[in-house]
């Protein structure tokens, strides 16, 4: 009863995560077709309709992303290039997608911190959570400097200073300065480094999607030089395996970002309690 229900944010962000992890409009169409064709059959077997509805929505999001990147089964057709917003195979496009991953991570983690503030009474210690939100965005700037070789923006150092002051002095506000500052410094020592790794971990969305695109392109190249029958077999098996790997990535990476990184920032313990509403206290 004490834990937050993260279903709304889990659902919204999982759509984006899935779109980037699979990242292919052709694969999305295949999965959508499979879901729609087998819908009645699967639901008759006892599978909840909402389970299939979830995947249909996820694959629609993936299709939209595939249209924006003009990627279909590892190809980038010129006929659909009009709808392309970013070319994932270009250096500029790859950098843009990496940057998007980091910003997405900062937004995701900030939502968790804001949610944590909303769930708890407003006290002086709330200022420490505000500090952690500012620290998240300062760390985002640092990640862009370290990974993307950006020049550090002028706001980065002041944001670090303000955030650390808030965290150190308001993590455990007390009239005892030694206790107050000591616990604040301890919180910084325990958590600061994890913010860097948490934001960087969102680059997995680009990396997995890019790897899937390279595999798809490789299968296409192999099929092109093989005899017709063998080429068709390579395409079916190769793209089939790639689709399966993409589906696995939803659970390995997409769900992980919600259940680990996000949950840590919202303060979830995953402790659980038995539902026992009529027990005498």
* pLDDT score, position 163: 97
* Structure token pair of residue 109: 């983690």
Minimal CA–CA distance to 239: which of 74, 124, 106, 114?
74
* pLDDT score, position 1: 54
* pLDDT score, position 225: 95
Q: Give per-residue pLDDT as tens, 4-37.
A: 888 899 999 999 999 999 999 999 999 999 999 9
Q: Give per-residue pLDDT as tens, 79-113.
A: 999 999 999 999 999 999 999 999 999 999 999 99
Confidence of residue 279 (pLDDT cuts 50, 70, 90): low
Compute the average pLDDT of residues 226-238.
Answer: 96
pLDDT of 278 above 80: no
Confidence of residue 280 (pLDDT cuts 50, 70, 90): low
Task: Look at 71-80, 123-132, 169-178 and tell me which has the smallest mean pLDDT.
Answer: 169-178
- Supply the angle between the helices 228-249 and 25-37 in degrees, to the nearest 10: 80
Mapped onto helix, strand or coil, the DSSP state of residue 189 is helix
Mean of the per-residue pLDDT values of the chain: 92
Instruction: For 231-255, give one letter per residue: b (16+ CB within 10 A) or e.
Output: beebbeebbeebbebbbebbeebbe
Mapped onto helix, strand or coil, the DSSP state of residue 72 is strand
* Structure token pair of residue 258: 């919600």
Cα distance between residue 76 and residue 23, in whole Å: 12
Task: Look at 214-228, 247-261, 263-277 and tell me which has the smallest mean pLDDT.
Answer: 263-277
Contact 70, 80 (CB under 8 A): yes
pLDDT of 274 above 80: no
Q: Where are the domains of the chain?
A: 7-266
* Structure token pair of residue 276: 């026992």
Q: Give per-residue pLDDT as tens, 166-210.
A: 999 999 888 888 888 999 999 898 888 899 999 999 999 999 999
* pLDDT score, position 140: 97
Cα distance between residue 150 and residue 182, in whole Å: 34
Cα distance between residue 17 and residue 5, in whole Å: 19
Q: Name the pTM for this structure.
A: 0.91
pLDDT of 65 above 80: yes
Contact 21, 205 (CB under 8 A): yes
Cα distance between residue 265 and residue 197, in whole Å: 13
């Amino acid at each position: 009863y004490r834990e937050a229900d993260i279903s709304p944010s889990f659902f919204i962000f999982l759509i984006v995560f899935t779109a980037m992890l699979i990242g292919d409009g052709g694969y999305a169409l295949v999965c959508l077709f499979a879901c729609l064709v087998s819908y009645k059959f699967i639901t008759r077997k006892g599978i909840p309709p909402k389970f299939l509805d979830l995947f249909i929505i996820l694959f629609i999001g993936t299709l939209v992303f595939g249209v924006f990147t003009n990627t279909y089964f590892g190809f980038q057709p010129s006929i659909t290039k009009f709808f392309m917003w970013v070319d994932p195979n270009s250096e500029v496009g790859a950098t843009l997608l990496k940057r998007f991953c980091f910003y997405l991570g900062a937004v995701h983690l900030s939502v968790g911190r804001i949610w944590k503030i909303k769930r708890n009474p407003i006290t002086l210690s709330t200022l420490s959570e505000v500090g952690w939100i500012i620290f998240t965005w300062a760390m985002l700037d640092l990640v862009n400097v370290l990974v993307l070789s950006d020049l550090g923006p002028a706001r980065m150092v002041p944001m670090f200073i303000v955030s650390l002051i808030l965290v150190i002095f308001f993590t455990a506000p007390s009239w005892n300065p030694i206790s107050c500052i000591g616990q604040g410094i301890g919180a910084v020592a325990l958590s600061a480094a994890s913010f860097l790794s948490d934001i960087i971990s969102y680059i997995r969305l680009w990396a997995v999607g890019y790897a899937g695109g390279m595999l798809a392109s490789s299968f296409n190249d192999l099929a092109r030089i093989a005899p017709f029958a063998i080429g068709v077999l390579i395409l079916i098996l190769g793209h089939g395996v790639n689709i399966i790997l993409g589906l696995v990535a939803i659970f390995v990476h997409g769900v992980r970002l919600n259940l680990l990184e996000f949950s840590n920032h919202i303060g979830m313990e995953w402790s659980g309690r038995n539902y026992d509403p009529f027990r005498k206290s």
